[in-house]
Amino acid sequence: MEKRLLKKDRLAGIIKNVSRDMLVYAPVKEEDNVLFMALKEGREPLLSFSNSRNAPKTFFFPRTETMMKYTRTSRGMEFLRGGGEAEEAVLFGVRPCDTRSFVLLDMLFDQEKYKDSYYISRREKTTVISMSCVHPPYTTCFCTSVNGGPTSSEGADILLTDMDDNYLVEFITPKGEKILQYFGDLPKAGAADETLKKEISQKAEKEITSHIPAKEVKPILDNNFEHPFWETIHQRCLACGTCTYLCPTCHCFDISDEAKGNDGIRIRNWDSCMYPLFTLETSGHNPRPTQKERWRQRVMHKFKYYVDNFGVIACVGCGRCVMYCPVNLDIRKIVEDISKL
Amino acid sequence: MLNPYIPMPVEVVKIVTEVDTKDIKTFRLAFINSEDEANFQYLPGQFAELSVFGQGESPIGIASSPTQPGYLEFTVQKAGVVTSTLHDLEVGTCIGVRGPLGNSWPIDYLEGKNIVIVGGGFAFTTLRSLVNYMTHEDNRFRFRDIIVVYGARTPGLLIYKDELSAWEARDDINLHVTVDKGDENWKGREGFVPTVCKEVAPSSENAVTVICGPPIMIRFTLPVFFDLGFSKENIITSLEMRMKCGIGKCGRCNVGNKYVCKDGPVFSLAELDKLTKEY
């Protein structure tokens, strides 16, 4: 793995250079929000920011996308893949929690038997440049409780770590090394730099003050699908779905069709287990009839089912659902309470 | 990379209205491209997503058997948007099929055993596929006695009537057709499916029962089979849930950590016991 040092003031220029050759999505300031947007002429990538409001999973799994187009023909119906092929792109400035979410989503979308070609083609064409959280930005950050870390490179092609005068630039994958050319002739990082990175990592981990017993709740959830506790969390919930839309690992979607004349399209949109219609059957039967069952599903999916199926917790500890829940439901508190059942 | 979301075009070549209420029809679909047909390798118990122009998809069990080449059949009850549009279609229309999806009835496990098939109402579709598969001349020797108990509320609600007569005429199927309540023309058996199962009293010796029907029928039929000595491993059924993708990605049809679309729809009672009761 190539490890280089980059003078800090050069980074913005390099990213802008990359954006002349390929699509670059970077965090930018939009009114009061930090959002990932395509870098265009005149748009500056943010180098110092907390985290984006929306999870960057949207670049691989968009909120809405055309899956297929179909046409009535003389032979009947023709089905064509919609949306075209994915473009070569760079996703710059992703925080390690969100970068890790891509690894978790890969497990679902890129399985041996059924491969989600839409997600996979974007993943293959996109280089992820991650930025360490040298100072974890929020009190709601809890990545270290769910196997992540503020300077972790898991899922990244390139990891940048702020080391005072320089960035330590780690080219993790061959895909990342392809971007090396844009960085020019950089000095190699030495043993002293590695030691400094270790110190910075340890310090950053210590700065995370929120700790939850996420790994301890799995055996409890295994045995407590029926428990009075499930009655206690959902009453406040408005079923707005904000938690699931902001979540970097939520992957549920709906498929629907639209047609006009002889042409139709099939679209997929993000969906949410928080909604009553999510599981409502045509007969009127709903296996998850109230918000209680829906909340249980959300907790179980993240902290038990995903662990059963893929061996990992489907939460990266970004804290978005905690920050933006309009009624202050806090997954950290819920996990904490479950650990005491 | 194969895109598992793109359907294959098929033509509706035959439509049979199965019941006197006219809300259950069987659609025979022929592949338009021969390579699609070659790729569609399925077993009884699997399902597929049917695409109707402008309306979307519905997951429907495959009612034909792989021993019937050249076409697929789906028996569909008119219920929602897609199935209602399907019911309005005419022969010659082109629709889409995506599949085969899900696991199947455990054919390998059934081999060499006595098979007791229990069906109720319109949930008989993939069981019909199984009966036709097992009784095909290429397969019949692989299975021992075949007992079929099939019931509907009224004679007019029995589906596959022609086929039931054909099975009746065979000496290698022990068929018991029953209705909850007969009419003036009904000469057959009257009685609920669980009661008939009790009367038929199939031996649990080297036997497996495959049960599919409305929840109320299943609830009263299971104790009968427990009393006959069937173990939970040897009671097999199929689940239904709201589905979209059919390949375990869209996240809605899970029961516990299993997706009904991908890990099911077929489960033994022993497997279901390990899952949560959220269905």
Q: Which chain A residues are within 8 Å of B9, Cβ to Cβ?
A: 75-79
Residues lower than pLDDT 50 in chain A = none
A313 min Cα distance to partner chain B (Å)? 13
pLDDT in tens, B191-215: 999 999 999 999 999 999 999 999 8
User: What does pTM read for this prediction?
Assistant: 0.93
Say how many Å lie between the first and final Cα of chain B, rounded.
34
- Chain B, nearest residue to A260 by Cα: B54
For residues A142 and A131, what is the distance between their CA atoms, to the nearest angstrom?
A: 17
Residue A212 lies in a domain: no
The shortest CB-CB distance from B249 to any of A109, A273, A278 is to A109
Determine the pLDDT at residue A240.
Answer: 96
Q: Are residues A49 and A141 in the same domain?
A: yes
Of A40 and B43, the one with more pLDDT = B43
Residue-level pLDDT at A31: 86
Option in B83, B241, B245 nearest A287 (CB): B241
* Domains of chain B, start order: 8-100 (2.40.30.10), 107-238 (3.40.50.80)
One domain, residues A182 and A261 = no
- Partner residue facing A255 (CB), from B4, B56, B80: B56
Looking at the fold, whether A197 and A250 belong to one and the same domain comes out as no
pLDDT digits 0-9 by tens, A246-272? 999 999 999 999 999 999 999 999 999
Same domain, A185 and A222: no
Nearest-neighbour CA in chain B from A112: distance (Å): 12
Q: Are residues A177 and A240 in the same domain?
A: no
**Cβ count within 10 A of residue A76:** 18
Can you read off the two tokens belonging to residue B235?
């009671």
Q: Tell which phi-psi region holds residue A305, choosing left (phi > 0), alpha (psi between -120 and 50) or beta.
A: alpha
Separation between Cα atoms, residue B108 and residue B148, nearest integer Å: 19
Distance between CA atoms of residues A105 and A250, nearest Å: 8
Closest-CA distance of chain B to residue A176, Å = 24
| Subunit contact B244:A257, Cβ cutoff 8 A | no
In this complex, do A76 and B93 lie within 8 Å of one another by their Cβ atoms? Answer: yes
For B7-35, how does the pLDDT look when each residue is reduced to its tens digit (9 = 90+)?
Answer: 999 999 999 999 999 999 999 999 999 99
What's the mean per-residue pLDDT of chain B?
95
Tell me if B96 and A266 make a contact (CB, 8 A cut-off): no
- Is A273–B276 a contact, with Cβ atoms under 8 angstroms apart? no
Output the pLDDT for position A109. Answer: 97
Residues of B in contact with A304 (CB under 8 A): 257
Enumerate residues 6+ apart whose C-beta is below 8 A from A206.
Answer: none
Q: Are residues A163 and A250 in the same domain?
A: no
Predicted pLDDT of residue A239: 95
Note whether A287 contacts B54, CB cutoff 8 Å. no
Query: Chain A residues with CB inside 8 Å of B251's CB?
Result: 251-253, 271, 273, 301
- Cβ atoms of B110 and B127 within 8 Å: the answer is no
Burial class (CB in 10 A: 0-12, 13-18, 19+), B145: middle
A71 is a domain residue: yes
CB A264 within 8 A of CB A68: no
Q: Using beta carbons and an 8 Å cutoff, which residues of B are at the interface with A?
A: 1-9, 11, 32, 51, 53-57, 79-80, 83, 93-96, 240-242, 244-245, 247-257, 262, 276, 278-279
- pLDDT of A83: 66
A67 vs B contacts (CB less than 8 Å): 5
Q: Where are the beta strands (DSSP E) in chain B?
A: 8-17, 24-31, 47-52, 56-61, 72-77, 94-101, 114-120, 146-152, 174-179, 189-190, 207-212, 235-238, 254-255, 258-259, 266-268
* Amino acid at the residue A170: E
At A261, is the secondary structure helix, strand, or coil?
A: coil
Chain B nearest C-alpha distance from A255 (Å): 6
Are A171 and A223 in a shared domain?
no
Q: Are residues A106 and A197 in the same domain?
A: yes
Question: How many domains is chain A partitioned into structurally?
Answer: 2
Note down the domain range covering A56. Answer: 2-207
Give the per-residue pLDDT at B65: 97
pLDDT value of position B279: 82
